[in-house]
């Protein structure tokens, strides 16, 4: 388990010096340095004091420590989700990281299928990108309409309302990526 480097990352993100933290929780700077560099494992009491000082609870800390840095998904292992009318098929593209800030999907739209994307609050500074893979897809952003063809892309803020519709093709496909949640 990577507790030391994770503790160091928290300390640096909160902009504390190693001396400040050591003094506040009453341990030596040398001990804290050894913990952060993974040379020794902190006692449960020391870990508890550090997390309390950083205002991080145990479960959140251990989720972060155990979180994978990457996910590789082979094409034949990709998860797919189909809507109840079987007109929209979502293929998750390596979106299995815990607490990930980015969701990515390959979306196949049957004839007449329409997909509204979740509109996030104005104060969230997220972005979305759509990339045409096959066919022609109508994209309505607020009140403006775009036709997304294969190879075309569209980037927009996640607070903009977006509806994607396949009006012209027997089947169309696009890549969607952005700040979660994407789908309503």
What's the pLDDT tens digit per position in 10-66? 999 899 999 999 999 999 999 999 999 888 888 878 888 898 899 888 767 776 655
Q: What is the pLDDT of residue 66?
A: 56
With a pLDDT cut of 70, the percent of the chain lying above it is 86
Does the pLDDT at position 95 exceed 70? no
Most confident of the following: 66-75, 154-163, 171-180: 154-163
Answer yes or no: do 89 and 41 share one domain.
no
Residue 158 lies in a domain: yes
Q: How confident is the model at residue 120 (pLDDT cuts 50, 70, 90)?
A: confident
Answer yes or no: do 88 and 159 share one domain.
yes
Last-in-domain residue among 66, 84, 104: 66
Residue 183 lies in a domain: no
Give the structural domain span for 131.
75-178
Whether the full predicted model's pTM is greater than 0.75, yes or no, is no
Peptide bond just before 76 cis, omega within 30 deg: no
Q: How confident is the model at residue 182 (pLDDT cuts 50, 70, 90)?
A: low
CATH classification of the domain holding 126: 2.60.120.10
What is the number of structural domains in the chain?
Answer: 2
Answer yes or no: do 85 and 174 share one domain.
yes
CATH classification of the domain holding 13: 1.10.260.40
Answer yes or no: do 83 and 142 share one domain.
yes
Residue 91 lies in a domain: yes
Q: What is the pLDDT of residue 103?
A: 76
């Amino acid at each position: 388990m990577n507790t030391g480097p994770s503790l160091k990352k928290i300390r640096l993100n909160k902009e504390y010096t190693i001396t400040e933290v050591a003094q506040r929780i009453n341990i030596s700077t040398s001990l804290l340095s050894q913990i952060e560099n993974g040379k020794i494992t902190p006692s449960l009491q020391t870990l508890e004091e550090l997390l309390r000082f950083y205002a991080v609870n145990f479960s959140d800390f251990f989720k972060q420590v155990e979180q994978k840095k990457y996910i590789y998904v082979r094409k034949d292992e990709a998860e797919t989700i189909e809507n109840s009318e079987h007109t929209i098929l979502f293929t998750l593209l390596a979106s299995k990281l815990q607490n990930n800030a980015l969701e990515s999907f390959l979306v196949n739209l049957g004839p007449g299928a329409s997909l509204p994307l979740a509109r996030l609050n104005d104060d969230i500074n997220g972005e979305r990108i759509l990339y045409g893979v096959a066919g022609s897809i109508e994209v309505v952003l607020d009140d403006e309409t775009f036709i997304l063809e294969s190879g075309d892309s569209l980037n927009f803020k996640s607070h903009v309302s977006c509806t994607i519709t396949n009006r012209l093709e027997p089947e169309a496909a696009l890549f969607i990526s952005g700040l979660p949640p994407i789908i309503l």
